[in-house]
Amino acid sequence: MKDGFIRVACGTPDIRVADCAHNADSIIALAKKAREAGVQLLALPELCITGYTCGDLFLQQTLLEGALEALKKIAKETAKLDMLLFAGLPVIHRSKLYNCAAAICGGEILGFVPKTHLPNYGEFYEKRWFAPAPDEYDYHDLWDDAVPFCQNQLFSCDTLPGLTVAAEICEDLWAPNPPSTAHAAAGATVIVNLSASDETVGKDAYRRALVSGQSARLVCGYLYADAGEGESTTDMVFAGHNLICENGVPLAESRRFENGFIFSEIDAQRLVYERRRLTTYPERKDKGYLHSTFSLPARETPLSRPVPAKPFIPSDKSARESCCEDILRIQSYGLKKRIEHSRANTCVVGISGGLDSALALLVAVRAADLCARSRKDVVAVTMPCFGTTARTKGNAELLCERLGVTLHHIDIKKAVDLHFADIGHDPQKRDVTYENAQARERTQVLMDLANETNGLVVGTGDLSELALGWATYNGDHMSMYGVNASIPKTLVRHLVAYEAQRADDEKLREVLYDILATPVSPELLPPREGEIEQKTEDLVGPYELHDFFLYYMMRWGFAPRKIFRLALYAFGEDYPRETILKWLRNFYRRFFAQQFKRSCLPDGPKVGSVSLSPRGDWRMPSDAVASLWLAEVDSL
């Protein structure tokens, strides 16, 4: 439960219709197996203690008494499992029969939650036996105890802040106004659904979309436990389609027609943060709710849920390609609007033979096509200086040739040498002045060429560079429209690769692949034996690590200790613990120190959930202090 995680499960036990004693044993056995797997919250199907398909047997006193005896046994046998468990059974309350979820923890029945929406159409006849949940809250006399009995109940964990569980039953979710909507508004971060949804053709896809969508809409974890084999097949077949979703993301799904259980981890801390971030999420209103607390040992939950090492990039090939096309359209349509609004005659792009400038040029070409303009209106400029290699210069020129843009070749060595003489800088002193003078000279050339051609300068810097401040202030930091400003470096690679894959021109494809294979470098120091001397990732750290840090800090507000834990899990043996800690510290140090560069960024399109625009997603004072974050990193 450390860092907000709790392992949760949905189970489908092997049952026999109306055999409550057998079903109790089966539920206990499944609960014990789940506990062995580290599960601390388990949801079981609707009416699983009796079986959902008992029909008119629900009116038999013998079955109802047998269900209560089975419940007593389940509570007793699971008392030491350190688990909150939800199981379904029929309960007589004030002379009416209700389809209920029983919340069980530590040998106690914490509450009965009756079903609100009773289906009475098609194959369902629940109103024949059951009454809908009463509006008011009440208490049920059970074994000399007063047990809460109402739809509006919240079960809060006193050892994991943010974990509050509520229940609804099957059709409740399918109704126009599910109880879970009010539960979430009242503070529930996890919803369990005890279900007996029969299987028909195509219903699994609808069920999956329903559960995923509700978890997204409510910003919650959603556990959907479905009845399976063991139910009567007189008129229906049940497939045990269990689902675990969190905020719209499927975490686990069972194979249909196989009883058993699935598990994953819900991050309650993450859900609480997202609700706090979303200003449209309602203020907590729990008036009319009964509250129960339960305790679970505050142990570290092992992780099994997916934590991608590259969170900005879809793992599925088809989804990744679709994502790349969407991003390129957002970039190019954003630039198209700026071209048309400013009545620019040209787009001026500094082209280095590297990834970022290649992407910016590809976007500029797309924008020119959208404007029905000649690609010659895209003016690409190569500006070799002290660190330029033949490989990058050649790739830049070939890329421009294959794309059909206008190419200017301007050697800036003499201009930079003259500048060094003007300010009295020794060119043998390879310091920050030596490097930044080149970047600023290039920006001056681009800006003046844009003035000369009534154009606008298209920026090439990406999100990762902005996060780390890896840009020369008023150099490559500045442009008239930054098309890459919200695209992290790891994603830049995939966008360029996507354009390479879809290129009809074989030579264009080859040069893009060679650009992808070129080490990332600003090329501000002279090459060694013709090869790039200055490799960015040797200096600031691997971009895949920094993009990982950036995503979890910006998108979810995670603390350094949690980001570090997730990084160890996501990257496995790719990076030693000490390496991750080194670059995590460097990330926070640079992120705070370099905010002043982000406070005056040019316009640029947002393409994903993380952006550092000072006008959009990120407003941070330039003199904020990083000591709290760095102290936490140093304590790891």
DSSP class of residue 454?
T
Range 375-378 contact pairs with CB under 8 angstroms and sequence separation of 24 or more: 375/403, 375/404, 375/405, 376/404, 376/405, 376/406, 377/345, 377/346, 377/347, 377/406, 378/346, 378/347, 378/349, 378/403, 378/405, 378/406
Question: Is 115 marked active-site?
Answer: yes
Backbone phi, then psi, for 10, in 5-degree steps?
-120, 130
Question: Chain-centre distance of CA 315, in angstroms?
Answer: 12
Catalytic residue selected from 115, 336, 393, 489: 115
Collapsing DSSP to helix, strand or coil, 513 comes out as: helix
Q: Which two tokens stand for residue 235?
A: 């008129």
Question: Is 465 marked active-site?
Answer: no
CA distance 243 to 266: 13
Catalytic residue selected from 10, 100, 150, 170: 170
Do residues 15 and 22 make contact, with C-beta atoms less than 8 angstroms apart?
A: yes
Q: Which two tokens stand for residue 372?
A: 């029905």
Question: Across the beta sheet with 153-157, what order do the strands follow?
Answer: 249-253, 243-246, 221-226, 190-195, 164-169, 153-157, 290-294
Burial class of residue 404 in the structure, from the number of CB atoms within 10 Å of its CB (0-12 exposed, 13-18 middle, 19+ buried): middle
Task: Kindly give the pairing relationship between strand 260-267 and strand 290-294.
Answer: unpaired
Amino acid letter at 301? T
DSSP class of residue 520?
P
Other CB atoms within a 10 A radius of the CB of residue 509 amount to: 16
Could you tell me if residue 4 is left (phi over 0), alpha (psi between -120 and 50 degrees) or otherwise beta? left
CA distance 149 to 155: 13
Do residues 614 and 626 make contact, with C-beta atoms less than 8 angstroms apart?
A: no
Give Cα separations from 248 to 59, 81, 212, 214, 393 (angstroms): 39, 30, 5, 7, 46
Question: Is 54 marked active-site?
Answer: no
Segments in 219-316 forming alpha helices (H) = 268-277
Task: Kindly give the pairing relationship between strand 455-459 and strand 481-482.
Answer: parallel
Token pair 């304590």: residue: 635
CA distance 276 to 219: 11
CA distance 628 to 161: 22
What angle do the packed helices 413-423 and 432-452 form, to 10 degrees? 120
DSSP secondary structure of 463-509: HHHHHHT-S-TTTTT--SEETTTT--HHHHHHHHHHHHHH-S-HHHH
Question: Catalytic residue positions?
Answer: 46, 115, 170
